Structure 1
Amino acid sequence: MLIIPLHKKLSRRNFPLVTLLLILANVFVYLGLQGGDTEVEMEAARYYHESGLEEREWQWLDSYVPPQDQAFREDMKEADALEEAEYDPELVAMVRSRVVESHPDFLDAAQDGAFAEPGTDEYNAWHSDRRDYEALIDRSFTRRYLMRYDDFDPVTALTHMFMHGGVGHLVGNMVFLLLLGILVEGALGRGLFLASYLVAGFGAASASLAVHWGLPTGMLGASGAIAGLMGLFTVLYGRLRVRFFYWVWVYFDYVRAPAIILLPAWLGWELLQFLMADGTNVAYEAHMGGIVTGALLAFGVRQLDWQRDDFLEEESQRDDDRETLASARADIAELRVPQAKHKLRPLLERHPGDTAVLKAWYGACKLKADDPEVNDAARRILALKGEDSDERQLVIDTFREHRRRAGMRMDGSQALQLASRLIHWGALDEGRLLLNGLLRKPRDKEGLATACLKLANKLSADGRGDEARPYVEQVPKLTEDPALLNAARNLG
């Protein structure tokens, strides 16, 4: 099962700075600090093989592990299969050394003399080789700073969150960190987000320690802390409907649903994986611990009212408004005017300059010839600035249609502004109609003179000089401004 929340697009307003810094920190640790570990591990594996330590410990381990311990015996068989397939001896040695160290008590038994009497040459040789091998392998940054299950250390409980076991491990975690960071960081604020991320990581680590305490292995990776963001996301957004993609077996879709339903979905999936896991290296118990910790943190944040509701609600409200607009359009198509207007009124209040809402509102109002709101609906559109071609065309089309309606009223200032915009956009015939009406009772003479010059220029450029001349002749009647008069003479 895969669930990916895709509720917000990355933008300047929700740019997740702390999330980006966390990603950079993880990448730096993997490439910069863990980058030399492969060479260290290969050098240690070479020593493990050439010193004879591999052969000696593998024989001891074979005699120590009982036949009924089938799971561990299977790990040993897989290592032996590499040797039979003639893999590089150093690679085989590396795998065998990890199998040896993963046994919960084999090395302790060897130290206690279970396979060679302490003080004998055999024991001393083994002890010396084991000490030298551990000195080599302990130069690995990963080995020093991963969180070990048999030795709790607050430092490694923190550092393990920034280390990864491979490129795929790193990339997968960072993608989810970015997607969730976009949704959660803005809802909490940067400081609280960082604190919550780290606390969730400690919660995930605690769950893993509780399950595996005492084992001679360890854990690394950011997935526990990222799982905490999953828990934070579900509770912070709560009943708000969010967009997410899901993929379950052969079924997939992109849907909207209350965020809180993802909490049992995510938690249940991790629990199922934990119960079914057999020999996996994935710490599903850490994921569960992170999700629960994140959910509890979000509950506390909500109780203290520390969340940023405007950030949480804006995208859900926008999506709700899109659905409402689509429903209102369907009502208009079915001539259900009262229902459409009822749905559109709140949208007008929230989005007074949205062309889609204004167009739908005008479309609803004009269905009834005597609708008292149709003039206001038209004026809202005609006041648009025409910031793109679609908006300009909407203004032009609305003017063409609505001017034929009886009772269209605009004050002189609005009409002059609209005429100037229409002329500027190249809708010359529509601009002329308005300008001609204004010239009958001129008020803003300077503005009218400027509009006449604009129209005359456009008409002349369009090869319509005869139509331009009357507007050039109007300029001296409207203004004494030398610049405008000079421009009119040049046109004349």
Structure 2
Amino acid sequence: MADRSATPKHLKLPLTPVLSLYALGISMIVLPTEKRFDWKHAPIMLFSIALLNILVFFLYQSADDTKYNNALEAYDRNNLLQSEWPAFQNYLLEENEKELLTGLRQAYSEEYYYDVIEYIVGDDAFYQYILNHEEQLVFDPYRVNDDFPNWKRRRQEVDDYFYSISSFQGGVIPETLNPVTLISYQFLHGDFYHLLGNLFFLIFCGFAVEAALGAWLFLGLYLASGVIGGLLYAVIDLSSQVPLVGASGSISGVMAMYLGIFRLRKIEFFYWIFVFAGYFRAPALLILPFYIGKELLDFYFNPNSGVAFMCHTGGFIGGGLLMAFCYKFKPDLINNEYVEEDQQLPAEQQSLAKIYAHIDHFRFDQALKAIDLHQKEYGEEFELSLLSYHISQALGKTSRLNHLLALIQVRPFSAQQVQQLAKAWEESEPLHENVDVKSSVKLAINILTPDNLTQVETLFNRLHDKQPNDPALIGLAQKLSFLFEKQKNKAKAKHYQAIADQNTLGSL
């Protein structure tokens, strides 16, 4: 769902489609991975589409926040809340939004008026409700010009700002459906993460489709899939005023085209379910009914999710039908040489696939051996070392100390990995006494951030109490002093610098 500060609360986002097992609380992703990216078939059109999406989001949609805030300010400046609040309460009652009404009444009573205004301005259906129930508006009897025409003029200023937001200008609105927005909505997004997720799936699946179809046919079918997705979303409720934005209908079409290109040929898929991941091979088109079925189930069982499931469904159906049309009437348009080209997994990726296959089938001892062999062949990786440690910990193996020591030796490269390492250390407290000073210091330096400062201090003090003159502690003490200095904690900065200086003199 898009951020309310930028878009109305009823905006529909066709989020990137995945297969999900919502009933079990488990998410599952299934993606075709038969083809590997290579520059022999550079996806120029794909990159152009991605770049256009990025430019539209950052150059055009970046003004949406300002437009929305201007609408809120105009509403407040024109004192419209006093006139509309009673009508809005009646509207929520008729819509059976009792829980929301209770919360807004509390906000109103506590004078958090902007919270109430956000809901009123963001609910475009309420404006139509007022026009049909003008008798519910409250006007000041002591002001001659406080009447319905004057209210409508002031409300128009709010609407001018509100409806200038990109989702209303370029999104698909079923009630006012037009051909232009069936194209433009495909290049608009609700927020940055919506854009990022869509671009990932577009590039992941799109390069192979463009290589098989050619740039211009790929563009045509991409846009056509988006049009079909937008149309199916609209025809479900032609009276709806909820705008639809996002490229996921088009991307659903691309995913269906990927499957349609290979038809009943067995191709490779990557899957992820909870903590299990791996690869399997299956006839390509066998997966398409699962994609479509998942969206239809979500449409019926998650009606209030704010996700345009029927847009996904339309995209899948559209992409599949378009590929069937190409094979039937224009098969020469498809690069069969590329489709039939055998692209074996690189040896490193095959090795990784074996690891995840063992985990998927609960063969954890074999997974540990496979991780060890992989890292000996291709070098240490933090994620695999962490996985190895967690498996050994879960199995209660006596070798988990060795796995912890191996994990400590691998340098984390991201903030997330630093926190994962810090958490792994915290959870391994019974093993701490068996970790040597050099490894402990390396760990402390690797996780030394403001968030982990207390944890590193505890570790340092334990080491210093046991071996106060160990030279390995000099660098750690200096780093602690520097970090406390940055935090303007002069007492601790001097304390750790003194320890570093003392150990330096002791080692001379």
Residues 269-278 or 246-255, more deviating = 246-255
- Alignment CA distance shift 1:295-1:104 (3 Å): farther
Q: Is the 8 A contact 1:201 1:290 kept in 2?
A: yes
User: Within 5 A, what are the aligned runs for 1:15-414?
Assistant: 15-66=42-93, 69-70=95-96, 72-77=97-102, 89-90=113-114, 92-99=116-123, 101-103=124-126, 105-110=128-133, 115=137, 121-249=146-274, 251-304=276-329, 305=331, 306-315=333-342, 318=344
Greater mean alpha carbon deviation, residues 239-248 or residues 213-222: 239-248
Q: Give the structure, 1 or 2, with the largest relative contact order (CA under 8 Å, sep 6 or more).
A: 2
1:291 Cα offset (Å): 0.3
Contact 1:4 1:245 in 2 (8 A): yes
Q: 1:269 and 1:102 mapped to 2: Cα distance?
A: 30
> Aligned AA for 2:117?
A
Q: CA RMSD in A?
A: 2.9
Distance 1:134 1:155, change over 3 A: same
- The letter of the residue matching 1:62 is Q
Contact 1:247 1:253 in 2 (8 A): yes
Q: 1:81, 1:144 → 2: CA distance?
A: 34
* Distance in structure 1 (CA, Å) of the matches to 2:89 and 2:231: 33
Q: 1:227 to 1:78 in 2, by over 3 A?
A: farther
- Answer whether contact 1:104 1:215 (CA < 8 A) is retained: no
Change (3 A) 1:156 1:271: same
Q: Out of 27, 30, 37, which is 1:3 matched to?
A: 30
Instruction: Tell me the residue number matched to 2:407.
Output: none
1:255-295 CA-to-partner distances (Å, cap 9, x unmatched) read: 22221111011111111111111322110010001100110
- What is the identity, as a one-letter code, of the residue corresponding to 2:90? S
Tell me which moved more, 293-302 or 305-314.
Answer: 305-314
Normalising by structure 2, report the TM-score. 0.57
For 2:212 and 2:229, locate their aligned partners in 1 and report how far apart those are by CA, in whole Å.
22
- Percent identity at matched positions? 25
Asked whether the equivalents of residues 46 and 90 of structure 1 are also in contact (C-alpha less than 8 Å), the reply is: no
- Contact map agreement 1:102 1:216 (CA 8 A) in 2: yes
Q: How many Å apart are 1:243 and its aligned residue?
A: 2.0
Contact 2:166 2:188 in 1 (8 A): no
Structure 2 SS opposite 1:282: coil
Quick check: 1:44–1:136 contact (8 Å CA) kept in 2? yes
Deviation at 1:75, TM superposition (A): 4.8
Deviations 1:299-335 (A, max 9, x none): 001112132111112146x47xxxxxxxxxxxxxxxx
SS in 2 for 1:293: helix
Listed as ranges, the gaps of 5+ residues in structure 2 are 1-19, 21-28, 346-508
SS at match of 1:218: coil
- Partners of 1:77 and 1:313 lie apart in 2 by 62
Q: What CA distance in whole angstroms lies between the structure 2 residues aligned with 1:216 and 1:56?
A: 24
Q: Which amino acid aligns with 1:33?
A: Y
Distance 2:175 2:105 in 1: 27
- Residue 238 of structure 1 deviates from its aligned partner by 1.0
Q: Could you tell me how far apart the structure 1 residues matched to 2:302 and 2:294 are?
A: 12
Contact 2:92–2:101 under 8 Å retained in 1: no
Residues 42 and 94 of structure 1 are in contact (CA less than 8 Å); yes or no, is this contact kept in structure 2?
no
| Structure possessing the higher radius of gyration over alpha carbons | 1
User: Relative to structure 1, is the Cα distance of residues 74 and 28 closer, same or farther in structure 2, using a 3 angstrom cutoff?
Assistant: farther
Q: What is the aligned residue count?
A: 315
- 1:200-235 alpha-carbon deviations (Å, 9 max, x no partner): 011000001011311222111111111111221111
Distance in 2 between the 1:232 and 1:152 partners? 26
C-alpha separation between the residues in 2 aligned to 1:95 and 1:246? 40
Deviation at 1:86, TM superposition (A): 7.8
Distance 1:148 1:128, change over 3 A: same
| Unaligned ranges ≥5, structure 1 | 320-492
1:110/1:116 contact within 8 Å kept: no
Letter in 1 for 2:81: E
Distance in 1 separating the partners of 2:33 and 2:109: 48
1:79/1:292 CA distance change after superposition, 3 Å:
farther
Shift of the 314–290 alpha-carbon distance from structure 1 to 2, 3 Å rule, reads: same
Quickly say closer, same or farther: Cα 1:301–1:53, change in 2 above 3 A. same
